[in-house]
């Protein structure tokens, strides 16, 4: 037994109330449930109707003479109303009302509504899977014959959709009156299809759909050796080469086939519930994102869409409330421990009831979304570590409190965990469109080449690559060098309980960290502590109230210049 419950839409209720009046439906949000078993017979339930109010409105609005209306309304059931109406003088109004009352008398107002008003409004379920992929070529005469005989193959549906989307009539392309007219139609079709496909295919913007319709030749593929044939080709304007549609990647053929198939359905304007089995399975992650965008823009405003997937990239992270988890507890390792009614395949909405394996695609989608939103935004400032983030945030807030320029809140500060990861991270997130990226990093002579590669290899523009050395005025600099040396040593001593002074640092190296490291090689920190970048930054964050007065104008000026430069990049 299969049961489906539908919520009535406004046009459904309007169709009911036009016949039986506004008091007919009892529920504020009416629903109807359909049941179908192996006998393939449909039964209805859950449509709550005020039978008496419905019958009275039906009779009053039928246009009967008032005495006859009053006479019929003296009876309470549809059967009695039929008897009263049948014994009266027949008019056009009574002849129209009588069969309706007879049908209601055989059942009920609710049954009449289900069978004669709502039945035609119930949406159809349509299924699409990988077997509905077009070949990209076919005999038009054979296709027209299958259309006439209503014996279409699976691959015919997307091809017919392709012709429909292109605005081509099957009869016209099989028997064109003029070659010039056919060529004009084909060119218009190519333009329309190219625009429709590339709107939702961001993988390659250089593709163009091409049609070729010509008489069959003896060497053509089997089934295409007579009559007129259609050949679909994809032309790559970047590489100036074309390939048969059917020889493109499996993912592209699936996407194009689905686009064409749905176009053919949309022409009929029917209410549909689309069932898709593992859509986009052969598409890579970015293309699956395009497919989700197509679903959201083109399908969901017009139809209900239900699809299955194992891919985390086919889970829309902005609509987790739509997700239903399907699992079969009978195949789990400890299946015997479950109650009998809990075994078998279940569709669940509560994630706490799901097994770890069932949750994996959802976890993958959630993890990807967190990665995108927590650490990446429209404007990303890439820094090396968490200590950079703390220093920048604290100094920015301090400057803004003083009425000076801090770092704009439009920047998302993204620590990547070390200088060696900056280039890789920029390359990864830079592959995403519409992202504004800048880097603010330490500068050492050994890092010069990798830093310059960020703009020399066109990962970023040169103005988007900033180093602390640009603001310290030194040949090398870390974020710690943005502070005065004695102030930074105050942070170190506060964090580790040490008593290091400037006179202890005998090295002449421009970077304070390098000088400190050389000192600590022979002078350990108290309690065997190991030096790390984060400790002083954390101490600075926790004690900014008493440390802010020790920040000199030169320090604040350096940070402010950096923030102004970054803000101009927004």
What does pTM read for this prediction?
0.59
Tokens encoding 53: 């109010």
Tokens encoding 177: 């009156």
420 alpha carbon, distance to own chain's centre: 33
**φ, ψ of residue 143 in degrees (nearest 5):** -65, -45
Place of tokens 């015997």: 336
Return d(Cα 249, Cα 255) in angstroms, integer: 10
Angle of helix 422-430 relative to helix 448-456, nearest 10 degrees, comes to 10
Return d(Cα 58, Cα 85) in angstroms, integer: 13
Return d(Cα 31, Cα 8) in angstroms, integer: 6
Residues β-bridged to residue 466: 440
Burial 61-96 (b: 16+ CB within 10 A, else e): ebebeeebbebbeebeebeebbebbeebeeeeebee
Residues of the chain falling short of pLDDT 70: 130-132, 165-166, 176-179, 264, 329-343, 350-357, 359, 362-376, 428-434
pLDDT of residue 563: 96
Query: Which of 234, 298, 248, 226 is closest to 133 using CA atoms?
Result: 248
Return d(Cα 196, Cα 294) in angstroms, integer: 11
Place of tokens 């870390």: 478
**φ, ψ of residue 250 in degrees (nearest 5):** -60, -40
Q: In a 3-state reduction of DSSP, which class is residue 325?
A: strand
pLDDT of residue 199: 80
pLDDT tens for 277-296 read 888 888 888 888 888 888 99
Place of tokens 């497919």: 291
CA angle 285, 292, 434 (to 5 degrees): 70
The total of other beta-carbon atoms located within 10 Å of residue 119's CB is: 13
How many residues make up the chain in this entry?
A: 570
299 alpha carbon, distance to own chain's centre: 12
Dihedral angle sign, alpha carbons of residues 411, 417, 420, 421: negative
Return d(Cα 143, Cα 67) in angstroms, integer: 62
Are 58 and 48 spatial neighbours (Cβ–Cβ below 8 Å)? no
Return d(Cα 383, Cα 479) in angstroms, integer: 10
Tokens encoding 103: 């049908």
Taking CA atoms, 290 is separated from 197, 286, 307, in Å, by 11, 7, 16
Q: In a 3-state reduction of DSSP, which class is residue 316?
A: coil
Are 91 and 64 spatial neighbours (Cβ–Cβ below 8 Å)? yes
Question: What are the DSSP E strand ranges found in 175-324?
Answer: 207-215, 228-236, 241-244, 272-277, 304-308
pLDDT of residue 266: 74
pLDDT of residue 254: 81
Q: What is the largest CA-CA distance in the chain?
A: 121
Taking CA atoms, 417 is separated from 372, 388, 405, 413, 450, in Å, by 17, 10, 27, 12, 16
pLDDT of residue 270: 77
Return d(Cα 255, Cα 209) in angstroms, integer: 14
CA angle 169, 171, 174 (to 5 degrees): 110
pLDDT of residue 187: 80
pLDDT of residue 551: 95
Dihedral angle sign, alpha carbons of residues 388, 392, 395, 398: negative
pLDDT of residue 130: 64
pLDDT of residue 209: 82
Q: In a 3-state reduction of DSSP, which class is residue 443?
A: strand
DSSP state of 201: -
Tokens encoding 180: 């010039």
pLDDT of residue 428: 64
Return d(Cα 79, Cα 87) in angstroms, integer: 13
Are 480 and 512 spatial neighbours (Cβ–Cβ below 8 Å)? yes
**φ, ψ of residue 103 in degrees (nearest 5):** -65, -40
Are 399 and 545 spatial neighbours (Cβ–Cβ below 8 Å)? no
Q: Which long-range contacts (CB under 8 A, 24 or more apart) does 468-473 make?
A: 468/440, 468/441, 468/442, 468/443, 468/562, 469/443, 470/443, 470/562, 471/558, 471/559, 471/561, 471/562, 472/558
């Amino acid at each position: 037994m299969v049961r489906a419950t539908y919520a009535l839409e406004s046009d459904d209720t309007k169709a009911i109330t036009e016949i039986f009046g506004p008091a007919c439906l009892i529920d504020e949000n009416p629903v109807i449930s359909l049941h179908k078993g192996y006998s393939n017979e449909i039964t209805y339930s859950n449509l709550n109707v005020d039978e008496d109010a419905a019958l009275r409105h039906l009779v009053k609005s039928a246009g009967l003479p008032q005495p006859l209306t009053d006479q019929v309304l003296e009876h309470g059931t549809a059967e009695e109303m039929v008897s009263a109406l049948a014994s009266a003088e027949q008019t056009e109004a009574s002849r129209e009302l009588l069969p309706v009352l007879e049908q209601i008398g055989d059942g009920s107002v609710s049954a009449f509504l289900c069978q004669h008003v709502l039945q035609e409004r119930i949406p159809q379920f349509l299924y699409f899977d990988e077997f509905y992929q077009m070949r990209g070529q076919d005999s038009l005469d054979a296709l027209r014959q299958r259309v006439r005989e209503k014996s279409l193959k699976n691959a015919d549906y997307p091809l017919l959709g392709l012709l429909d989307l292109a605005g081509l009539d099957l009869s016209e392309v099989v028997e064109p009156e003029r070659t010039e007219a056919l060529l004009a139609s084909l060119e218009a079709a190519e333009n329309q299809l190219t625009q429709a496909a590339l709107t939702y295919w961001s993988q390659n913007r250089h593709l163009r759909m091409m049609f070729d319709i010509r008489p069959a030749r003896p060497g053509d593929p089997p089934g295409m050796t007579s009559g007129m044939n259609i050949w679909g080709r994809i032309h790559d304007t970047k590489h100036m080469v074309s390939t048969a549609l059917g020889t493109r990647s499996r993912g592209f053929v699936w996407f194009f086939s689905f686009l064409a198939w749905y176009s053919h359905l949309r022409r009929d304007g029917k209410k549909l519930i689309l069932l898709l089995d593992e859509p986009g399975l052969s598409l890579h992650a970015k293309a699956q994102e395009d497919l989700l965008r197509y679903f959201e823009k083109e399908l969901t405003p017009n139809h209900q869409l239900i699809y299955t997937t194992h891919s985390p990239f086919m889970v829309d992270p902005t609509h987790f409330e739509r997700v239903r988890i399907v699992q079969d507890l009978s195949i789990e390792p400890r299946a015997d421990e479950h109650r009998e009614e809990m075994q078998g395949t279940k569709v669940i909405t509560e994630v706490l009831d799901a097994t770890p394996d069932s949750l994996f695609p959802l976890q993958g989608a959630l993890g990807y979304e967190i990665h995108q939103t927590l650490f990446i935004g429209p404007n990303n400032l890439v820094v090396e570590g968490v200590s950079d983030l703390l220093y920048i945030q604290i100094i920015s807030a301090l400057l803004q409190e003083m009425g000076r320029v801090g770092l704009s809140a439009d920047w998302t500060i993204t620590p990547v965990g070390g200088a060696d990861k900056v280039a890789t991270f920029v390359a990864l997130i830079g592959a995403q469109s519409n992202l504004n990226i800048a880097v603010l990093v330490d500068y050492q002579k050994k890092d010069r080449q990798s830093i310059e590669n960020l703009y020399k290899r066109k990962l970023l523009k040169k103005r988007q690559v900033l180093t602390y050395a640009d603001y310290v005025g030194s040949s090398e600099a870390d974020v710690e060098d943005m502070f005065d040396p004695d102030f930074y040593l105050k942070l170190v001593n506060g964090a580790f309980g040490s008593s290091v002074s400037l006179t202890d640092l005998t090295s002449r190296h421009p970077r304070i960290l390098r000088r400190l490291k050389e000192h600590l090689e022979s002078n350990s920190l108290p309690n065997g502590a190991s030096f790390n970048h984060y400790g002083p930054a954390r101490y600075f964050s926790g004690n900014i109230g008493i440390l802010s007065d020790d920040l000199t104008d030169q320090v604040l000026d350096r940070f402010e210049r950096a923030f102004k430069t970054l803000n101009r990049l927004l």
